[in-house]
Structure 1
Amino acid sequence: MFNVPAITWTLTAVLLLSGSYHFLQATKSHQLTDRVNNILHALMNILMAAMLWNLVPSTMLAQIAVLAGAALWFVIQAVARPEFKMLCAGSQGRLKCVYHSLSMAGAAVMVAMMGLATTGHAPAGALPMAHAHHSMTPAAPSTAAATLGHSPGLAIVLTLLFGAAAVVFILLVLRFGAAKTSHRHGTASGRSARTAHGLEAIGAAVMALMFATMLA
């Protein structure tokens, strides 16, 4: 994806470390919802790392389906009734789930854009239908694929979105850091919040950078 190997290796290491952290948190979680959420985040980081190296392109449809399902799962949590305490609770929790839904959907879009830009045609699972109508519209699949695979407008919007998200999470990290300094020591929950915000900032920055490479 990047012409500079050092950048690719650095981003790969960051994504795999982040994925490992979420997997570790999943093993420590006592609540099923938290365990599922962390596993989905770990999986998203692994898929993004695979994208950097254009690995397993034949599973593009499966990757998109998993990420789209994860996005829907976070939407369900965000709009769940307050009685379901195990799902997103409070305005901050709901906003967090909305953002996680956007990040999962963004990763799904990234998989589709990169896959179509690389292959220049529709996913393998969609080819039979395309062949069935080959005599009627022979150029339609490749044209649609090219359009989605090279969409600078969409890439700009997503770059700005995740770039802004990275800035917001960095500010939250600094805010918690300032609160810790003023109290001379931080609580376990405060340290956990800083770590979570730091990971969110890194993840958002990586996604913004990856979408930025699609502007050319």
Structure 2
Amino acid sequence: MRVFNIPAITWALTAILLLSGSYHFLQATKSHQRTDQINKSLHALMNVLMAAMLWNLVPSTMLAQIAVLTGAALWFVIQAVARPEFKTLCAGSQGRLKCLYHSLSMAGAAVMIAMMGKSTTGHVPAGGMSLPNAHHSMAAAAPGTAAASLDHSPGLAILLTVLFGAASVVFFLLLARFRLTKTALRDSAASRRSVRGEHGLEALGASAMAMMFATMS
């Protein structure tokens, strides 16, 4: 499946990623808690990097992108396993699960960039980067690097496609459940909009990740 040869698909995914990135950046500027500011900023950065990858932009910074995303994944893991007294980090079972998923998202983005793993040499189609053809349109990375070893891993791509596909279904179900639950009606209007927005963008983001990994399988 080579959906990224279709300009409309590439533009749609780019819009979703940039919309999500803008939302997280806006939330980071509004937050008064340092940890939350860092988390939202990392989400915004991840979405921008994913959008840039669709168009094969700044491939020369590939290793830096992988390093930042890997560090972000570890940061969310640390929050997920932190002791309960650190209340500025993930609290409660729901919060810890949320942080673990965010860690998976960051790690998935790093893996995707590593699977591309090469600098641009070929022509990029008018509709954006065709991920299955990306392996042929980029120059070989240094031998023995992690990026090179991940470049031919269809099994890993399939696994991540399934994981993010399942995540998108879960977030869509949570969004539907939130709309129906009576508890949600007792929340403030601003709180309801915030939760709906997060569930909706998480669902769209997971769907985009699943689609992008599907082209690599």
Return the TM-score normalized by structure 2: 0.85
Alignment of 1:79 onto 2:73: no
**In 2, Cα distance between equivalents of 1:181 and 1:94:** 22
Equivalence for 1:131: none
Q: Is the 8 A contact 2:77 2:100 kept in 1?
A: yes
Asked whether the equivalents of residues 178 and 184 of structure 2 are also in contact (C-alpha less than 8 Å), the reply is no
Query: How big is the alpha-carbon RMSD for the aligned residues of Structure 1 and Structure 2?
Result: 2.2
Give the match for residue 92 of structure 2: 90
- What is the match of residue 41 of structure 2? 39
Q: In the superposition, relative to structure 1, how do residues 199 and 141 fare at CA in structure 2: closer, same or farther (>3 Å)?
A: same
Task: Note if 1:158 corresponds to 2:160.
Answer: yes
- Describe the superposition over 1:38-59 as per-residue Cα deviations: whole angstroms up to 9, x where unpaired: 0000000000000101111110
C-alpha distance after superposition, 1:85-112 (max 9, x if no partner): 0000000000000000000000000000
Change (3 A) 1:95 1:181: closer
Alignment match, 2:60 = 58
Aligned length, in residue pairs = 198
1:12 is matched with 14
Query: Structure 1 counterpart of 2:198, which letter?
Result: A
Match of 1:114 in 2: 116
Specify which structure has the bigger relative contact order, considering alpha-carbon pairs within 8 angstroms and separated by 6 or more residues: 2
1:207 lines up with 2:214 in the alignment: no
- In structure 2, the CA distance between the partners of 1:6 and 1:81, relative to structure 1 (3 Å rule), is same
CA apart distance, 1:190:
2.8
What is the SS of the residue equivalent to 1:214? coil
Unmatched 5+ stretches in structure 2? 119-134
Shift of 1:114: 1.4
Aligned residue identity for 1:119: M
The change in CA–CA distance for 1:187 and 1:6 in structure 2 (over 3 A counts) is same
2:140 aligned partner, one-letter code: H
Moved more, 36-45 or 180-189: 180-189
Distance in 2 of aligned mates of 1:143 and 1:66: 15
Tell me how far apart the structure 2 counterparts of residues 54 and 108 of structure 1 sit (CA, whole Å). 15
Q: Helix, strand or coil: the match of 1:204? A: helix
Structure 1, gaps ≥5 residues long: 128-139
Q: Secondary structure at the match of 2:117?
A: helix
- CA drift at 1:113: 0.3
C-alpha contact (below 8 Å) 2:115/2:150 kept by paired residues? yes
- One-letter amino acid of the structure 2 residue matched with residue 58 of structure 1: S
Q: Shift in Å at residue 181 of structure 1? A: 9.6
- Give the Cα–Cα distance (whole angstroms) in 2 for the partners of residues 202 and 186 of structure 1: 24
Q: How high is the sequence identity, in percent, across the aligned residues?
A: 75
- In 1, Cα distance between equivalents of 2:145 and 2:101: 32
Q: What is the rounded CA distance, in whole Å, between the counterparts of 2:165 and 2:103 in structure 1?
A: 16
TM-score normalized by structure 1? 0.85
Larger Rg: 1
Q: 1:18 to 1:180 in 2, by over 3 A?
A: farther
Distance 1:183 1:86 in 2: 27
Task: Write out aligned runs for 1:124-135 (5 A).
Answer: 127=142
Structure (1/2) with the larger helix percentage: 1
